[in-house]
Chains A and B, each alone.
Chain A
Amino acid sequence: MAKIASHPSNTTVKMLFFGDSGSGKTGALVSLLKAGYKLFVLDFDNGLDSLIQYARAEAPDKLNNIEYETLTNRQKIAGGVAVPDGAPKAFSKGMELLTRWKYKTPEGETIDLGITGDLDPSDTVVVIDSLTFMSNAALDYVLYLQGRAGKQPQIQDWGEAMRMIEGALKILYSNEFKPNLIITSHVSYIGEEGGMLRGYPSTLGQKLPPKVGRYFNAALMARVKGTGGSAKRIIRTKSEGVVELKNPVSLKVPVELPLETGLAEYFKFAKGGK
Chain B
Amino acid sequence: MTDETLPTPNIYDSQVPNFQIAWDSTSLGWFKTCPRLYYYNMIEHWTPKRMALPLKFGILFHKSFEVYEDHKASGLDHNGALLETVKWALDITWDRETNQPWTPDDPRRGRISLVRSIVWYWDFFQDDPAETVILHDGKPATELSFRMEFPYNTPSGDPILMCGHIDRLVNFADQIWVMDHKTTVRSLSSQWFDGYTPDNQMSLYSLASQVVFDTETAGTIVNGIQLAQEFIRIQRGFAPRPKPVLEEWIEASRWWLDQAQRCAEREHWPMNDKACHLYGGCQYRHICSQSPSVRKSDLKADFTQESKWNPLIPRD
Contact = CB atoms under 8 A, between A and B. Distances in A.
Contact of A92 (B130, B193, B218, B234): B218
Contacts of B238: 160, 163-164
Interface stretch (A60-68, A142-150, A187-195, A243-251): A142-150
B235 A171 contact: no
Interface stretch (B9-17, B72-80, B171-179, B304-312): B171-179
B173 A89 contact: yes
A255 B83 CA distance: 70
Nearest to B190: A159
B244 interface: yes
Interface string B230-242: 0000111110101
B28 interface: no
Contact of B173 (A144, A160, A176): A144
A94 to B, nearest CB: 12
A156 B235 contact: yes
A160 B190 contact: yes
B38 to A, nearest CB: 32
Contacts of B172: 87, 145
Contact of A147 (B129, B188, B189): B129
Given A156-B190, A159-B189, A160-B190, A88 B242 contact: no
A92 B175 contact: yes
B128 interface: yes
A167 B237 CA distance: 13
Contact of B128 (A96, A99, A147, A159): A147
A69 B242 CA distance: 22
A163 B190 contact: yes
A17 interface: no
A171 B242 contact: yes
Given A160-B238, A164-B238, A171-B242, A141 B189 contact: no
Nearest to B130: A145
A92 B129 contact: no
Given A87-B129, A87-B173, A145-B236, A176 B244 contact: yes
Interface in A141-183: 141, 144-147, 149, 156, 159-160, 163-164, 167, 171, 176
Interface in B203-254: 218, 221, 234-238, 240, 242, 244
Contacts of A87: 129, 172-174
Contacts of A99: 242
B167 to A, nearest CB: 16
A175 to B, nearest CB: 11
Main secondary structure of the interface of B (DSSP, over half): mixed
A159 to B, nearest CB: 4
Contacts of B237: 156, 160, 163
Contacts of A167: 240
A87 B238 CA distance: 16
B124 interface: yes
Interface in A82-113: 87-89, 92, 96, 99
Contacts of B189: 156, 159
Contacts of A176: 244
B311 to A, nearest CB: 30
Interface in B92-132: 124-125, 127-130
Contacts of A92: 173-175, 218
Pick the most buried of A87, A145, A164: most chain B CB atoms within 10 A of its CB.
A145
Given A167-B240, A176-B244, A145 B174 contact: no
Interface string B116-157: 000000001101111000000000000000000000000000
Contacts of B175: 92, 96
A92 B173 CA distance: 8
A164 B173 CA distance: 16
A168 B94 CA distance: 49
Interface in B152-205: 172-175, 188-190, 193
B173 A149 contact: no
Pick the most buried of B174, B189, B237: most chain A CB atoms within 10 A of its CB.
B237
A74 to B, nearest CB: 12
B87 to A, nearest CB: 25
B244 A89 contact: no
A167 B175 CA distance: 18
Given A159-B190, A164-B238, A176-B244, 17 more contacts: A87-B173, A89-B173, A92-B174, A92-B218, A144-B173, A145-B172, A145-B221, A146-B234, A147-B125, A147-B127, A147-B128, A147-B129, A147-B234, A160-B236, A160-B238, A163-B193, A163-B237
21 contacts: A89-B173, A89-B174, A92-B173, A92-B175, A141-B173, A144-B129, A144-B173, A145-B129, A145-B172, A146-B236, A147-B128, A147-B234, A149-B129, A156-B235, A159-B189, A159-B193, A160-B190, A160-B237, A163-B238, A164-B238, A171-B242
Interface of B: 124-125, 127-130, 172-175, 188-190, 193, 218, 221, 234-238, 240, 242, 244
**Across chains A and B, which 3 residue pairs bring their CB atoms closest together, nearest first?**
A159-B190, A87-B173, A89-B173
